[in-house]
C-alpha cells in the first residue's frame, strides 16, 4: 500500500464480487473465484472443493429463475474463520420461489454449513451460504 494511501476497512478488503450474465455457461468464473478464495484462507482441500460445488449449486438454482438478460451477482466475504457467500439475481415473476424440495437443495445444504433463502426484497431472489474453516465433521 502506498504511504499516505487510503485506509480500507477490513470488509472492503475482503469483499469480492463477481457479476456474470445469468446463464449456466458463465458459472465457471464464479466457481474458480470461490475455490481460490477458500484456498487462500487456507481451508482444507475438502472444504475448498465443497465451497466450489456449493456456490456452483446456488448459482445453478438461481439461473433458471432470473429475468431475461439479468445479471447474477455473487459476493464473497472471506476471512480465516469462514467464507460467506451471497448469490442474487433479479426476477420477473413476483411469485418465483427458490425451490427447496430438490436434489440440488440437498446438495447445497450438505455442502454448506449454513444456507438461507433471501427473498425479502421485491424483484430479486438470492441464496446466502457460508462454510466455516473449522468443520464439525471429518
Partner 1 sequence: MTSQSGYEHLVPLLKEFAALDQDDPRRNRLRDELVTGHLPVALHIARRFSHRGEPQEDLEQVATVGLINAVDRFEPDRGSDFLSYAVPTITGEVRRHFRDQAWSMRVPRRLKDLHVSIGAAVSELSQRLGRAPRPSEIAAHLDISTEEVLEGLEAAGAYRSASLDEVLTDDDPTGQTTGDVLGEADSALDQVEYRESVRPLLASLPERERTILMLRFFGNLTQTQIAEKVGISQMHVSRLLAQTLAKLREGLE
User: Does 52 participate in binding partner 1 (rule CB under 8 A)?
Assistant: yes
Tell me the residue length of the chain.
138
Nearest Cα neighbor of 57 from 20, 134, 112 is 112
User: Does 69 participate in binding partner 1 (rule CB under 8 A)?
Assistant: no
User: Does 91 participate in binding partner 1 (rule CB under 8 A)?
Assistant: no
User: Does 84 participate in binding partner 1 (rule CB under 8 A)?
Assistant: no
Q: Can you tell me which of 14, 20, 26, 44 binds partner 1, judged by CB under 8 A?
A: 44
Q: Can you tell me which of 35, 58, 91, 115 binds partner 1, judged by CB under 8 A?
A: 35
CB 137 within 8 A of CB 99: no
Q: How many residues bind partner 1 (CB under 8 A)?
A: 28
Output 21 or 99, the one with its CB closest to partner 1.
99
Determine the Cα–Cα distance for residues 64 and 6; give it in Å rounded to an integer: 41
Taking the complex as a whole, how short is the minimal distance between the CB of residue 112 and partner 1, in angstroms? 12
* E strands, 91-123, in order: 114-118
Radius of gyration (C-alpha) of the chain in whole angstroms? 15
CA angle 134, 40, 45 (to 5 degrees): 55
Taking the complex as a whole, how short is the minimal distance between the CB of residue 45 and partner 1, in angstroms? 4
Determine the Cα–Cα distance for residues 87 and 112; give it in Å rounded to an integer: 14
- Site residues (CB under 8 A) for partner 1? 32, 35-36, 39-40, 42-47, 49-50, 52-53, 56-57, 60, 64, 101-104, 106-107, 110, 137-138
Amino acid at each position: 500500500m502506498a504511504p499516505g494511501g487510503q485506509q480500507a476497512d477490513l470488509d472492503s478488503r475482503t469483499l469480492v464480487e463477481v457479476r456474470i450474465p445469468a446463464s449456466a455457461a458463465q458459472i465457471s468464473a464464479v466457481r474458480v473465484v470461490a475455490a481460490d478464495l477458500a484456498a487462500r484462507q487456507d481451508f482444507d482441500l475438502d472444504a475448498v472443493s465443497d465451497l466450489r460445488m456449493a456456490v456452483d449449486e446456488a448459482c445453478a438454482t438461481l439461473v433458471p429463475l432470473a429475468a431475461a438478460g439479468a445479471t447474477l451477482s455473487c459476493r464473497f466475504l472471506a476471512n480465516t474463520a469462514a467464507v460467506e457467500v451471497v448469490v442474487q439475481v433479479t426476477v420477473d415473476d413476483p411469485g418465483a420461489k427458490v425451490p427447496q424440495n430438490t436434489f440440488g437443495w440437498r446438495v447445497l445444504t450438505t455442502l454448506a454449513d449454513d444456507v438461507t433463502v433471501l427473498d425479502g426484497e421485491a424483484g430479486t431472489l438470492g441464496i446466502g451460504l457460508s462454510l466455516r474453516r473449522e468443520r464439525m465433521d471429518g
